[in-house]
Amino acid sequence: MPWYSGDRGPGQLARAIGGVVKDARRVRRGWHWDSPRPRTWPERGAVVPAPASDLGWARQEPVRTLRWLIQRGLLLPFTEVMAHPKVEGREWVRELERPVIFAANHSSHADTSLILHALSDRARDRTVVAAAADYWFKRPLLGNLVSLFLNTFPFSRTGGAQAQLNASSRLLKSGWNLVLFPEGSRSPDGRIQEFKPGVGHLANETGTPVVPMHIRGAYRVMPRGQKLPLPGPVRVRIGKPMAPQAKEGSREFTARVEKAVRALAAEPRQPEIQGGWIERWRALKPREPEYQE
């Protein structure tokens, strides 16, 4: 019978409050709230991390609808105005039949919104972004806010291969595309850094194709250390999806993805990475309208 049911009257309520106050006093005295930490106590140990959350709430309704509104109303128009991104190879992300990993170079905080801007509406609505757990989720409020805007989830950079694989593969298997920056962190000088093998490992373990992407110009828009973006032209080039070959190791596949991203940075078109015209033409074939009986 709860205290507020009224059966036992106000006396019971007073007793309940008294109990809480008593407990609080006990804790205050026990842990020295109003005096310094006793010297006799041993040094404070490392904080036991909270069990990792994959922020499932951010991928459920009504948060998805809210994010759709935020992205359409704020994020994408802002990206368009600031960077006027020129996108090459949209055909490869227009009609994705299965989840993919978008692997892009990383030189700026603007990269994520540029990638989302380059995707088709359908692909964007089914895309999660791997955000460094030790950077974005150090402060829970910031982490949750970024998740609301960009659909991020905490990606452990320190927890070893298995930790990365668990959360990511669960998302890929449930039909989400994954944006991953294989360099691990933003480039200090705008140049592409060495790729970490996580992307190859993830692709190999889950059998997911990787779509190489290269973003040019984002470093000038918002380099490392800069708080606010500056307007500047950006080009996003998307390559055709790459799948790990049979008996290809994670490191070899990562090296291949890295090579593709570096090739996309080159000036002329890269038919072997971006696809020949016939492949692209076929990828752009309009969907047949579905007639209802």
Partner 1 sequence: MARPGAVIEVDRNTPPVLFQFGEGVRLEKLPLGARIVYPPDPLEPIAHAERAIKRALGKPLEDDPLKSLLRRGMKLTIAFDDLSLPLPPMAAPDVRQLVMEEVVDMAAEAGVEDIHLIAALGLHRRMTADEIRHIVGDRIFSTFWPDRLYQHDGEDPEANVYIGKTAQGEEVTLHKRAAESDLVVYVNLTLVPMDGGHKSMSTGLATYRGIRAHHNVKTLLGSRSYMNPPDSALHHSCIRQGQLIEDTVRVFHIETTVNNHAFPSIANFMQKRETDWTAQDQAMFLATKQLTDFAPPAVKRNFFHAMRAPYGLTGVNAGQVDAVHEKTLENVRNQISVRVEGQTDVVTIGVPYLGPYNVNAPMNPVLVVCMGLGYLFNFYRHKPVLRKGGVLILTHPCRYEFDAVQHPSYIDFYDEVLADTTAPLEIEAKYELRFAEDPWFRQLYRKSHAYHGAHPFYAWYWAAHAMEHAGDIIIVGGEREVVHRLGFKCATTLEDAFEMAEQTVGRHPSVTHMRMPPILLADVE
Q: Which residues bind partner 1 (CB under 8 A)?
A: 90-91, 268-269, 276-278, 280-282, 284-286
210's CB contacts (< 8 A; 6+ apart) are 100, 101, 102, 103, 199, 203, 241, 242, 243, 253, 257
Cβ closer to partner 1: 22 or 285? Answer: 285
Q: Which two tokens stand for residue 35?
A: 């005096």
Cβ closer to partner 1: 217 or 244? Answer: 217
- The CB-of-90 to partner 1 minimum distance in angstroms stands at 6
For residues 213 and 260, the answer to whether their CB atoms sit within 8 Å is: no
- The CB-of-72 to partner 1 minimum distance in angstroms stands at 20
- The CB-of-237 to partner 1 minimum distance in angstroms stands at 13
Quickly count: other Cβ atoms within 10 Å of residue 144's Cβ: 17
In the chain, the N- to C-terminal Cα span, in Å, equals 58
**Parallel, antiparallel or unpaired: strands 235-238 and 210-216:** antiparallel
For residues 167 and 86, the answer to whether their CB atoms sit within 8 Å is: no
d(CA 222, CA 231): 9
- Helices 198-206, 160-173: crossing angle, 10 deg rounding: 50
Q: In Å, how far from its chain's centre is CA 276? A: 31
Cβ closer to partner 1: 90 or 224? Answer: 90
Cβ closer to partner 1: 4 or 277? Answer: 277
Cβ closer to partner 1: 88 or 183? Answer: 88
- The CB-of-87 to partner 1 minimum distance in angstroms stands at 9
- The CB-of-238 to partner 1 minimum distance in angstroms stands at 11
- The CB-of-285 to partner 1 minimum distance in angstroms stands at 8
Cβ closer to partner 1: 120 or 185? Answer: 120
Cβ closer to partner 1: 259 or 285? Answer: 285
Cβ closer to partner 1: 243 or 283? Answer: 283
- The CB-of-153 to partner 1 minimum distance in angstroms stands at 31
- The CB-of-245 to partner 1 minimum distance in angstroms stands at 24
